Amino acid sequence: MRILFPALAACALALSGCAERAGLQSMAGSEVQSANFIAQAANGYNSQKMIATQARFRASTPDTVTFDFDSARLDAEARRVLDLQAQWLQLNPSVRMRVIGHADAVGPDGYNSRIGLRRARAVVAYLGKKGVARTRLDAVESRGERELLVETDERERRNRRTVTNVAGFERGFSGPGMNGRRAAAAYRRYIGDRTEGAGAARVGG
Protein backbone atom coordinates (compact mmCIF):
# COMPACT_ATOMS: atom_id res chain seq x y z
CA MET A 1 0.00 0.00 0.00
CA ARG A 2 2.90 2.33 0.83
CA ILE A 3 4.39 1.61 -2.61
CA LEU A 4 1.09 2.04 -4.44
CA PHE A 5 0.28 5.53 -3.06
CA PRO A 6 3.44 7.27 -4.34
CA ALA A 7 2.90 5.66 -7.73
CA LEU A 8 -0.69 6.92 -7.87
CA ALA A 9 0.41 10.38 -6.75
CA ALA A 10 3.07 10.51 -9.47
CA CYS A 11 0.53 9.45 -12.07
CA ALA A 12 -1.92 12.12 -10.93
CA LEU A 13 0.77 14.79 -11.12
CA ALA A 14 1.70 13.64 -14.62
CA LEU A 15 -1.92 13.76 -15.76
CA SER A 16 -2.30 17.21 -14.19
CA GLY A 17 0.74 18.43 -16.10
CA CYS A 18 -0.63 17.03 -19.35
CA ALA A 19 -3.96 18.74 -18.75
CA GLU A 20 -2.24 22.04 -18.00
CA ARG A 21 -0.14 21.82 -21.18
CA ALA A 22 -3.23 20.89 -23.18
CA GLY A 23 -5.01 23.91 -21.74
CA LEU A 24 -2.10 26.18 -22.67
CA GLN A 25 -2.00 24.74 -26.17
CA SER A 26 -5.76 25.22 -26.52
CA MET A 27 -5.43 28.80 -25.31
CA ALA A 28 -2.58 29.43 -27.73
CA GLY A 29 -4.66 28.02 -30.57
CA SER A 30 -7.55 30.24 -29.58
CA GLU A 31 -5.28 33.28 -29.52
CA VAL A 32 -3.89 32.40 -32.96
CA GLN A 33 -7.42 32.08 -34.34
CA SER A 34 -8.39 35.37 -32.74
CA ALA A 35 -5.32 37.14 -34.12
CA ASN A 36 -5.99 35.67 -37.56
CA PHE A 37 -9.61 36.83 -37.45
CA ILE A 38 -8.54 40.33 -36.40
CA ALA A 39 -5.95 40.47 -39.19
CA GLN A 40 -8.50 39.35 -41.78
CA ALA A 41 -11.03 41.89 -40.52
CA ALA A 42 -8.40 44.66 -40.62
CA ASN A 43 -7.35 43.72 -44.16
CA GLY A 44 -10.98 43.60 -45.26
CA TYR A 45 -11.59 46.98 -43.65
CA ASN A 46 -8.55 48.48 -45.38
CA SER A 47 -9.65 47.06 -48.73
CA GLN A 48 -13.13 48.48 -48.33
CA LYS A 49 -11.67 51.78 -47.13
CA MET A 50 -9.41 51.92 -50.20
CA ILE A 51 -12.36 51.29 -52.53
CA ALA A 52 -14.44 53.96 -50.80
CA THR A 53 -11.54 56.44 -50.78
CA GLN A 54 -10.82 55.82 -54.48
CA ALA A 55 -14.48 56.44 -55.29
CA ARG A 56 -14.46 59.65 -53.27
CA PHE A 57 -11.25 60.79 -54.99
CA ARG A 58 -12.67 60.18 -58.47
CA ALA A 59 -15.98 61.83 -57.59
CA SER A 60 -14.28 65.07 -56.59
CA THR A 61 -11.10 65.14 -58.69
CA PRO A 62 -10.11 63.97 -62.21
CA ASP A 63 -7.63 61.10 -61.90
CA THR A 64 -6.18 61.31 -65.44
CA VAL A 65 -4.04 63.76 -67.40
CA THR A 66 -3.08 63.38 -71.07
CA PHE A 67 -0.03 64.34 -73.10
CA ASP A 68 1.04 65.52 -76.54
CA PHE A 69 2.58 62.94 -78.86
CA ASP A 70 6.12 61.90 -77.88
CA SER A 71 6.04 64.24 -74.88
CA ALA A 72 6.04 64.14 -71.09
CA ARG A 73 5.41 67.88 -70.78
CA LEU A 74 2.49 68.93 -68.60
CA ASP A 75 0.31 71.42 -70.47
CA ALA A 76 -2.03 73.96 -68.85
CA GLU A 77 -4.95 71.52 -68.61
CA ALA A 78 -2.77 68.82 -67.04
CA ARG A 79 -1.47 71.30 -64.47
CA ARG A 80 -5.02 72.37 -63.64
CA VAL A 81 -6.05 68.76 -63.01
CA LEU A 82 -2.94 68.10 -60.90
CA ASP A 83 -3.63 71.25 -58.85
CA LEU A 84 -6.99 69.70 -57.96
CA GLN A 85 -5.33 66.38 -57.10
CA ALA A 86 -2.81 68.18 -54.86
CA GLN A 87 -5.61 70.02 -53.06
CA TRP A 88 -7.47 66.75 -52.46
CA LEU A 89 -4.31 65.08 -51.12
CA GLN A 90 -3.67 67.98 -48.75
CA LEU A 91 -7.19 67.52 -47.37
CA ASN A 92 -6.61 63.75 -47.04
CA PRO A 93 -3.13 63.55 -45.49
CA SER A 94 -3.32 59.84 -44.60
CA VAL A 95 -3.79 58.67 -48.22
CA ARG A 96 -0.93 57.34 -50.36
CA MET A 97 -1.16 57.35 -54.14
CA ARG A 98 0.20 55.42 -57.12
CA VAL A 99 0.88 57.18 -60.43
CA ILE A 100 0.78 54.99 -63.56
CA GLY A 101 2.07 56.15 -66.94
CA HIS A 102 0.74 55.04 -70.33
CA ALA A 103 1.54 55.53 -74.03
CA ASP A 104 -0.21 55.02 -77.34
CA ALA A 105 0.74 52.20 -79.73
CA VAL A 106 2.95 54.26 -82.06
CA GLY A 107 6.62 53.35 -81.73
CA PRO A 108 8.60 50.48 -80.15
CA ASP A 109 7.38 48.84 -76.94
CA GLY A 110 10.54 49.72 -75.04
CA TYR A 111 10.35 53.38 -75.97
CA ASN A 112 6.69 53.55 -75.02
CA SER A 113 7.43 51.99 -71.65
CA ARG A 114 10.15 54.59 -71.01
CA ILE A 115 8.00 57.55 -72.02
CA GLY A 116 5.16 56.24 -69.84
CA LEU A 117 7.57 56.29 -66.90
CA ARG A 118 8.72 59.81 -67.79
CA ARG A 119 5.09 60.94 -67.75
CA ALA A 120 4.48 59.35 -64.34
CA ARG A 121 7.61 60.99 -62.95
CA ALA A 122 6.53 64.36 -64.33
CA VAL A 123 3.26 64.07 -62.42
CA VAL A 124 5.03 63.05 -59.20
CA ALA A 125 7.45 65.96 -59.52
CA TYR A 126 4.60 68.43 -60.05
CA LEU A 127 2.60 67.12 -57.09
CA GLY A 128 5.76 67.41 -55.01
CA LYS A 129 6.11 71.07 -55.96
CA LYS A 130 2.53 71.55 -54.78
CA GLY A 131 3.39 70.29 -51.31
CA VAL A 132 2.60 66.56 -51.54
CA ALA A 133 5.31 64.55 -49.77
CA ARG A 134 7.19 62.18 -52.08
CA THR A 135 6.76 59.41 -49.49
CA ARG A 136 3.02 59.50 -50.14
CA LEU A 137 3.56 58.65 -53.82
CA ASP A 138 4.88 55.21 -52.98
CA ALA A 139 4.89 53.61 -56.44
CA VAL A 140 5.51 54.97 -59.88
CA GLU A 141 5.25 52.62 -62.82
CA SER A 142 4.75 52.52 -66.56
CA ARG A 143 2.45 50.23 -68.51
CA GLY A 144 3.50 51.61 -71.87
CA GLU A 145 1.02 50.63 -74.57
CA ARG A 146 -0.32 47.55 -72.76
CA GLU A 147 -3.56 49.15 -71.56
CA LEU A 148 -4.98 51.25 -74.39
CA LEU A 149 -8.21 53.10 -73.71
CA VAL A 150 -8.82 53.33 -77.46
CA GLU A 151 -7.78 50.28 -79.49
CA THR A 152 -5.81 51.79 -82.36
CA ASP A 153 -2.31 51.67 -83.79
CA GLU A 154 -2.55 55.36 -84.65
CA ARG A 155 -1.78 58.39 -82.52
CA GLU A 156 -4.40 58.76 -79.82
CA ARG A 157 -4.16 61.35 -77.06
CA ARG A 158 -6.48 59.47 -74.70
CA ASN A 159 -3.94 56.63 -74.63
CA ARG A 160 -1.07 59.01 -73.77
CA ARG A 161 -1.93 59.53 -70.12
CA THR A 162 -1.16 59.09 -66.46
CA VAL A 163 -3.66 57.80 -63.92
CA THR A 164 -3.44 58.59 -60.20
CA ASN A 165 -4.91 55.88 -57.93
CA VAL A 166 -5.26 55.37 -54.18
CA ALA A 167 -2.53 52.93 -53.11
CA GLY A 168 -3.08 52.74 -49.35
CA PHE A 169 -2.79 54.69 -46.14
CA GLU A 170 -0.03 56.01 -43.94
CA ARG A 171 0.63 54.31 -40.62
CA GLY A 172 -1.53 55.67 -37.84
CA PHE A 173 -4.27 57.00 -40.09
CA SER A 174 -6.74 56.07 -37.32
CA GLY A 175 -6.78 54.84 -33.74
CA PRO A 176 -3.80 55.57 -31.48
CA GLY A 177 -1.89 57.22 -34.34
CA MET A 178 -4.54 59.90 -34.85
CA ASN A 179 -3.08 63.36 -34.44
CA GLY A 180 -4.55 66.85 -34.73
CA ARG A 181 -3.82 67.17 -38.46
CA ARG A 182 -5.42 63.83 -39.30
CA ALA A 183 -8.34 64.46 -36.96
CA ALA A 184 -9.03 67.78 -38.69
CA ALA A 185 -8.87 66.08 -42.10
CA ALA A 186 -11.22 63.33 -40.90
CA TYR A 187 -13.67 65.96 -39.68
CA ARG A 188 -13.54 67.76 -43.05
CA ARG A 189 -14.23 64.44 -44.81
CA TYR A 190 -17.13 63.81 -42.43
CA ILE A 191 -18.65 67.22 -43.17
CA GLY A 192 -18.06 66.69 -46.89
CA ASP A 193 -19.79 63.30 -46.82
CA ARG A 194 -22.79 64.78 -45.00
CA THR A 195 -23.19 67.45 -47.64
CA GLU A 196 -22.88 64.77 -50.37
CA GLY A 197 -19.89 66.35 -52.05
CA ALA A 198 -21.22 69.89 -52.20
CA GLY A 199 -18.70 72.17 -53.87
CA ALA A 200 -16.63 69.31 -55.33
CA ALA A 201 -14.11 70.55 -57.88
CA ARG A 202 -14.63 69.29 -61.42
CA VAL A 203 -13.13 69.95 -64.82
CA GLY A 204 -15.67 70.45 -67.58
CA GLY A 205 -15.66 71.10 -71.28
Q: Is 6 exposed, middle or buried (0-12, 13-18, 19+ CB in 10 A)?
A: exposed
How far is Cα 124 from Cα 137, in angstroms, rounded to an integer? 7
Q: From 153, 147, 124, select the one nearest 137 (Cα to Cα).
A: 124
Question: Can you give the pLDDT of all 205 residues of the chain as single tens digits?
Answer: 444 444 445 544 454 454 444 444 444 555 554 444 444 444 445 678 888 888 899 999 999 999 999 999 999 999 999 999 999 999 999 899 999 999 999 999 999 999 999 999 999 999 999 999 998 987 788 888 899 999 999 999 999 999 999 988 865 444 334 444 555 555 555 455 444 444 444 432 3
Q: Report CA 155 to chain centroid distance, whole Å.
A: 32
Domains, the chain, in order of start with CATH, read: 62-170+177-194 (3.30.1330.60)
How far is Cα 144 from Cα 149, in angstroms, rounded to an integer? 12
Length of the chain equals 205
pTM of the model: 0.62
**From start to end of the chain, where are the E strands?**
64-66, 95-101, 137-142, 161-169
122 CB neighbour count, 10 Å cutoff: 21
